[in-house]
Structure 1
Amino acid sequence: MRRTFLKVTGSALVGGLIVASGGPAWAATVTQVPAGQAGTIGGFAGVDAVSATDGWAVGGNGNGIVQRFNGTRWSIVASPDLLNGGANSWAFLADVDATSATSAVAVGQSTAASGGEKTAVALRWNGSAWSRQAVPKPAGTDTELTAAKAFSASDAWAVGQTASGGSTFRKTLAVHYNGTTWVTTPTTSPGTRTNFVTGVDGVSGNDVWMAGYSLNLPYGNRFRQSMIQHWNGSAWIQVATPNNGSTFLYDVAAVSASDAWAVGSASNGGAFVIRWNGSAWNTVAAPPLASLNSVAARSGNDVWVAGSDAAGAPALANWNGTSWSVTPVPTGGGTGSVTLGAVALASPSTEWAVGARQDATTGNSSFTAFRIA
């Protein structure tokens, strides 16, 4: 299968926006769009779009931060104080998913200032305000949520991990929102040392995938194994997945009951991509990148991934059904680096990629968003 790596030929500053230039060397046009900033640190971890002119992005700056796109720029929107007036020392929102302009969920975690206990966080947008919702948490446990998928205002999933009594052994965690409360559902935790779930997606409330990785004892072991579980409407079932050396899965995107994609990285091959064909997950051609953090798919012939190249530079890639085309992301020059945390579909011809930029001189970081067209 043909693989095409397209190199940057330049970038230009237009009206305060960094825009990719250089003609046919670009697989897509990437424009950096202004985002709200809060303090000297910050970055996006999740993004979702209602339309080309309305979207949500979440992350943190030591507290949970929510921003909304109004068609021109991203701006910070009032949301609950996850630090609870100082009772918590750190908080972060990891993902957001919206079903309409009046319904969205965001998830993450907060860390207690005393003892460091982690508590999973879920927020809900009702069209006028964000509110915090209770998430089940047995006493003495750490809980955190890393990804969310909403099907309607009364049907949403959030996934992550949990640990008991200060233990380093983490188990998978899945909670379901039924329109009133979040309810924990049983999941499988195959790793004997730790289990991480970092992505969730589905085509219906009875067909949901979550993806991550597991690690087995002994404690010196560094060999991760890919992990995917499927919700069939009544139970989460682990499904066999390929590996290529030590393998991480970071995200999953479902197109239909017989087509889904999961991405990450593998020690024996850099970027790692597997695809569901309705009966099994199989390794498929990956773009020539070092790691993939996120995936979004319109169809089996239009799949977007976000990650980084071998030099650590941010990059996007698109699968057209035959081959991958890779677009480096303009960083605007200067010192520092940009990391992409998530990619999402905004319209039939527009995507969003969000992340963080870190200044190499000061160490400060900032919220960064790119529109792809």
Structure 2
Amino acid sequence: MRKIAVTVAAVLLVSGCTGERVGTSTAPAPSGPAATAAGGSPEAVGTGAPAPAWRLATLPELARPTSVLWDVVTVDATHAWAVGSEAYSPDQPNDSGTPLILQWDGTRWARGALPATTWHGRFDLVAADSPSNVWAVGSTAAAGPEDQETHVLHYDGTAWREVPLPRRNSRGYALITGLTVADGHAWLVGNQLSDVIIEEWDGRSWRSHRSPAECRAGGTSFGGMPNFCTFTAIRAFRSDDVWAAGNGAWQGFKGPLLFHWNGSGWRTVPVGINDQESSFTALAGRSSGELWAVGNGGLAVRGGGGSFEILRDAPAGALPDVATDLAGVPWLIDNSPAPSAALATFSTGGWVGTPAPQPAGAVGMSLHGITGTPGSPLMFAVGAVDLPTNPRYLRAVVLEYVPAPSTEPGA
């Protein structure tokens, strides 16, 4: 759950996202104890040694009543960033909420020092390709989505500063849904009504891209709707090798799509699914040859180039994000087993779910972002837990994946 979707293309977006700021939850109380105690590390059966496990990380004190983390990125084992908001009050939805950035130094999470801001709202997205090239995207709190303003910030290893996006026309508000960084270039994707937004920061300025021809062609798709595409996620490997995910519809086609940039133009890449009202919500991979894309309702594919395999046994609930670990194995967030989130990984036998640990006293959890770490087995997932309050407030959480210790001689 990254962003809202109220464009004409939204009829195909089944991501479950809403434009309301998350401050309370209607999740029911759990019927049993959390699957893993807060901070607990289960032991491998019969060995007495710690097994690989997700556990709760310790965070700095966050402003109340509600805090949420929406996205996370790592560049190595000692540099990671998580973004979201704190001090949001559902009683003041239009003028509360303070943008929040947390930074990992290899040992602990601490607040990132943001420039003085005069806007209330949150950060939704974060991406980086080095400790001195980190980008974050967020939006202001507002009475309606048409009144929201997008904010883009860049961190150069020393300080954060705002990098304004080019002004767009006022036909509809801009919905930024994806962010990626590679080779010093930052990419933003999203939608504005039926138009696709693709912006590239080339190191000096923003450069607008045209969407694939099918997305711009005149005519109507199903139900008399105009032809369209939506971009919901993006992953760059080089400045001339960028993949995006979403969906599209035109005469003869309706369904989830991937999109590829080769340095000169964007093209649509079908994955073998047609005549379905579905969309990819997240995209991950270590290269163009090993991509993973997922969407709500059990939508999942893997492959690369022009060849993709449809994986039909993925969790059937809300799948807001996916990431790959050190070995290239995917981990996805599954928010369907309410009131507790789960994390699922893929093996030869299919998808294997692991309940996410909850703090003592929490009555629910939703996760929103997950990331692997280049060169390390370390992984993080972020979101928020539901507190036993009335109204139901939220508290931000970070989960960290602790790999099993090596048993090799000399380790």
Report the TM-score when normalising by structure 1. Answer: 0.80
Q: How far 1:126 sits from its partner (Å)?
A: 0.6
Change (3 A) 1:265 1:12: closer
Q: CA deviation at 1:182?
A: 1.7
Considering Cα pairs closer than 8 Å and 6+ residues apart, tell me whether 1 or 2 has the greater RCO.
2
- Letter paired with 2:208: T
Of 53, 56, 70 in structure 2, the residue corresponding to residue 45 of structure 1 is 70
> Does the 8 A contact of 2:244 with 2:258 survive in 1?
yes
1:172 aligns with 2:200: no
Is 1:364 the counterpart of 2:393? The answer is yes
Q: Distance in 2 between matches of 1:228 and 1:367?
A: 32
Larger radius of gyration: 2
Q: Give the partner amino acid of 2:318.
A: S
CA shift at 1:296, angstroms?
1.4
More strand by share: 1
Equivalent residue number for residue 365 of structure 2: 338
Q: Given the superposition, is the C-alpha separation of residues 206 and 299 from structure 1 closer, same or farther in structure 2, using an over 3 Å criterion?
A: farther
Contact 2:282 2:293 in 1 (8 A): yes
**1:92-171 matches, cutoff 5 A:** 92-110=122-140, 116-140=146-170, 141-153=172-184, 155-162=185-192, 169-171=193-195
Q: Closer, same or farther in 2 for the Cα pair 1:214/1:136, shift >3 Å? A: same
Partner of 2:256: 226
Provide the alpha-carbon RMSD of the alignment.
3.1
d(CA) in 2 for partners of 1:237 and 1:111? 35
CA positional deviation for 1:103: 1.6
| 1:197 aligns with one of 201, 211, 231 | 231
Distance 1:245 1:21, change over 3 A: farther
1:294–1:256 Cα change, 3 Å? same
Corresponding pairs, count? 340
How far apart are 1:24 and its partner, in Å?
4.5
Q: Distance in 2 between matches of 1:261 and 1:31?
A: 25
- Answer whether contact 1:159 1:200 (CA < 8 A) is retained: yes
Counterpart code for 2:378: T
Q: Measured at CA, do residues 321 and 348 of structure 1 come closer, stay the same or move farther in structure 2, by a change above 3 Å?
A: farther
**1:17-60: CA deviations, max 9, x gaps?**
x2242645998311101224123122111111122232101112
Percent identity reads 24
Aligned to 2:245: 211
Supply the distance in 1 between the matched residues of 2:326 and 2:268 (Cα, whole angstroms): 24
Q: Could you say which residue in structure 2 is the equivalent of 1:73?
A: 108
Matching residue within 351, 361, 374 for 1:324? 351
In the alignment, structure 1 segments of 5+ residues that lack a partner are 1-7, 163-168, 217-223
Output aligned runs, 1:206-355, within 5 Å. 206-213=240-247, 225-241=255-271, 242=273, 245-266=276-297, 271-288=298-315, 290-298=317-325, 302-320=329-347, 323-346=350-373, 347-355=375-383
Counterparts of 2:341 and 2:82, CA distance in 1: 18
Tell me the distance in 1 between the aligned counterparts of 2:198 and 2:137.
Answer: 12
1:70: Cα distance to partner? 2.4
TM-superposition CA deviations, 1:308-345 (whole Å, max 9, x none): 24445211122245543321101124243111111101
In the alignment, is the contact (CA less than 8 A) between 2:362 and 2:385 conserved in 1?
no
Q: Partners of 2:202 and 2:164 in 1: how far apart?
A: 13
Q: Distance in 1 between matches of 2:385 and 2:293?
A: 25
Partner of 1:3: none
Shift of 1:181: 1.3
Determine the C-alpha separation between the residues in 2 that align with 1:114 and 1:298: 38
Structure 1 counterpart SS, 2:257: strand
Aligned 8 A contact 1:336 1:361 in 2 = no
